[in-house]
Structure 1
Amino acid sequence: MSIFDAKVESVGEGMQTLQPYEGNVLLVVNTASKCGFASQMKPLQQLYDRYKEQGFYVLGFPSGQFMNQEPLDSEEIPDYFKEKYGVTFPIFKKTEVRGENISPLFQQLTNETKGVGSNKIKWNFTKFLIGRDGTILYRYSPSTNPEKIEIDIKEALK
């Protein structure tokens, strides 16, 4: 199955696939508004602003699975990130990124990449760079600063 066929749930639009993003470079990030890494939202937005005209999208998938660091309702999260960090890239509904109810998208992302010790997502702000053809190019740890990913984004956009 192509990554673009994965079903995700959008705030306001319900279930959909990632087909609208096919042919673009994607950075998929599991987010949480109360996580210590939430300050990464600002540089993620800067990357989105810098490269969106070239076909680059950051896609945020909030998760409350790690110490409930996403206590907000799905509908509140996009507004919170917009007000606090100026985020305009797509933020989807709260998503299970591990465990028995893992979303199909994160099931595929974790099955096809290596994590430290296991393939499971261990914390918020794990990031996945996906090429225009749907290939998962890189997996980045939560502590990887978004600015360090820029060189890989530029390469993927070529």
Structure 2
Amino acid sequence: MMDKVTKASFYDLEAKTTSGKKIAFSDFRGQVVLIVNTATRCGLAPQFEGLEELHLKYKDRGLVILGFPCDQFAGQEPESNERMEEVCKINHGVTFQLTEKCEVNGEAAHPVFKFLKKKLKGFLGSRIKWNFTKFVIDQNGEPCKRFAPVTKPKDIEKLIQRLLS
């Protein structure tokens, strides 16, 4: 069986919602996708608000934001999937799609992060440095830019506008 990471297309990948429902990335053909590894107890958690602003402003123009909660960095996502989703909604107003918790580094890393890290190297090579690393995928399913955890969502807006125009 072929490893999902070696597949040629972003659209071959999938994830699961916090309740375990499948999210087929093929449903995002023709849209710009922003993938972020998140954590509710991270010092960068205020970025949830900026991500939500981008979501509300551009979702009707074709932007999809997927938050992938991760507990690999200092245990900053200790919540269950259900509780984490609740915390994101109550504390940060999040309405964009969150997935079930996953790993982003190592052998057990989610296939989408293996794919993205292979396509877009970062400061530490392919390894993800911290929570809130962001990846932008264009309308053709091509990863086009990786952003550091400290990059604020508003600083990604110009790229999103350009891709959506």
Give the TM-score of the pair, scaled to structure 2: 0.92
Structure 1 residue 66 corresponds to structure 2 residue 79:
no
Which blocks of at least 5 consecutive residues in structure 1 are unaligned? Answer: none
Q: Deviations over 1:115-148 (max 9, x none)?
A: 1131110100000011011011100000001111
User: 1:77 Cα shift?
Assistant: 1.4
Indicate the residue corresponding to 1:39 in structure 2.
46
1:56 corresponds to 2:68: no
- 1:149 corresponds to which letter in structure 2? I
Q: Which amino acid aligns with 2:60?
A: E
- Secondary structure of the corresponding residue to residue 73 of structure 2: coil
Which residue of 139, 142, 149 maps to 2:156?
149
State the secondary structure of the residue aligned to 2:81. Answer: coil
Partner of 2:88: 81
Q: Which runs of 5+ in 2 are unaligned?
A: 1-7
Question: Between the two proteins, what is the percent identity of the paired residues?
Answer: 39
What SS does structure 2 have at the residue aligned with 1:30? strand
1:93 is matched with 100
- Distance in 1 separating the partners of 2:158 and 2:14: 29
Taking the aligned partners of 2:57 and 2:48, their CA distance within structure 1 comes to 14
Equivalent residue number for residue 117 of structure 1: 124
Q: Does residue 5 of the first structure (1) align with residue 12 of the second (2)?
A: yes
Partner of 2:3 in structure 1?
Answer: none
**Pick from 18, 24, 30: which aligns with 2:25?**
18
Q: Secondary structure at the match of 1:155?
A: helix
- Provide TM-score, normalisation by structure 1: 0.96
Moved more, 65-74 or 7-16: 7-16
Which piece of structure 1 moves more, 11-20 or 115-124?
Answer: 11-20
